[in-house]
Amino acid sequence: MKIRVLGSGAGGGFPQWNCNCDNCRGLRNGEINAKPRSQSSIAISTDDKNWLLFNTSPDIRSQLEVFPEIHPKKGIRDTGIKAIILMDSQIDHTTGLLILREGEPLDVYCTEMVKQDLTTGFPLFKMLEDYCTINHHNIPVDGSGFTIDGIDDLRLYTHALSSKAPPYSPHRHDPHEGDNIGVIVEQISTGKKLYYSPGLGEIEPHVLRAMQDADCLLVDGTFWTDDEMIRRGAGIKRAKDMGHMAQSGPGGMIETLDSIDPGTRKVLIHINNTNPILNEDSPERKTLDEHDIEVSYDGLEIIL
């Protein structure tokens, strides 16, 4: 399978429009060695023609424009996007649906909880009824497998995560199974597996098992420390208040990834603009190199 990183940044992207932190200012002024990043989303295909999108970011228009394999190929209106799966109902992961409104009905796979948010607090599904309409397909939260019409060689296994629903959601402080999911994407013909989980609040036993079983991990790279936003003076929220676990420190992502077989490719995605790993010359980035952990970037393609 081919995994295309459409966007590798967290909400706000990098640089964020109103942010003057060392990273955002440093990137704008050319003072740091770093790449700009759009908001996170990936696309997967096994034939380079039919693509399954994971999340739709507000940056989707430009993400698609620089990705020829997904462009219209036949007739007056066409797309390589066959279906969309939503990992949660965050604004930065779903707003792209509005940008896709000029097309045919969209086949959107998400949990009942995400569907609730997207028909109430952020009623995209309702709004789009008067444009392209959404064909909603419910997906499991217990790790069971399913396939998607038009995506022949992939089987997906989706499980609930301990993370956070968006600030606008009635579930923000009242978690429900399926507010956030992780997914194992298996290519049926080869047995190769990707584990994708851009919003990991904690490593529960079923998450660790999924990680141990995968050939490649594309996981939460949002924050280096729990108090990163506070430390940078960029906000008052802690990583864990937002449903993200930090990379550094005891029980952090680096320690978790160290416990996984070294043959597994380990890649971070959904990097917040305050994260020091965005600076490719930083000591934090060197630490990741020493642990064989990659940092994804927009346009990265992983072949499994």
User: At its nearest, how many Å lie between ligand MLT and the CB of residue 191?
Assistant: 31
Nearer Cβ to ligand MLT (19/128): 19
12 binds, among Mn ion, ligand MLT, Zn ion, none (CB under 5 to 8 A by kind): ligand MLT
14 burial level (CB within 10 Å; 0-12, 13-18, 19+): buried
User: At its nearest, how many Å lie between ligand MLT and the CB of residue 243?
Assistant: 6
As given in the structure block, the two tokens for residue 290 are 């020493």
Footprint on this chain of Zn ion (rule: CB under 5 A):
19, 21, 24, 273
Nearest to 65 by CA among 31, 115, 99: 99
Query: Of 8, 51, 53, 92, which lies in the binding site for Mn ion, with binding defined by CB under 5 A?
Result: 92
Q: Is 107 a residue that touches Mn ion (CB under 5 A)?
A: no
Nearest to 293 by CA among 211, 178, 206: 211
User: At its nearest, how many Å lie between Zn ion and the CB of residue 145?
Assistant: 39
242 binds, among ligand MLT, Zn ion, Mn ion, none (CB under 5 to 8 A by kind): ligand MLT
In whole angstroms, what is the distance from residue 214 CA to residue 195 CA?
A: 6
273 binds, among Zn ion, Mn ion, ligand MLT, none (CB under 5 to 8 A by kind): Zn ion
Q: Token match 């709004």: residue? A: 127
In whole angstroms, what is the distance from residue 136 CA to residue 105 CA?
A: 10
Footprint (CB under 5 A) of Mn ion, residues 3-22: 10-11
Q: Residue of minimal CB distance from ligand MLT?
A: 11
For 244, phi then psi, to 5°, come to -125, 140
Which residue type occupies 154? L
Residues found near Mn ion in the complex (CB under 5 A) = 10-11, 90, 92
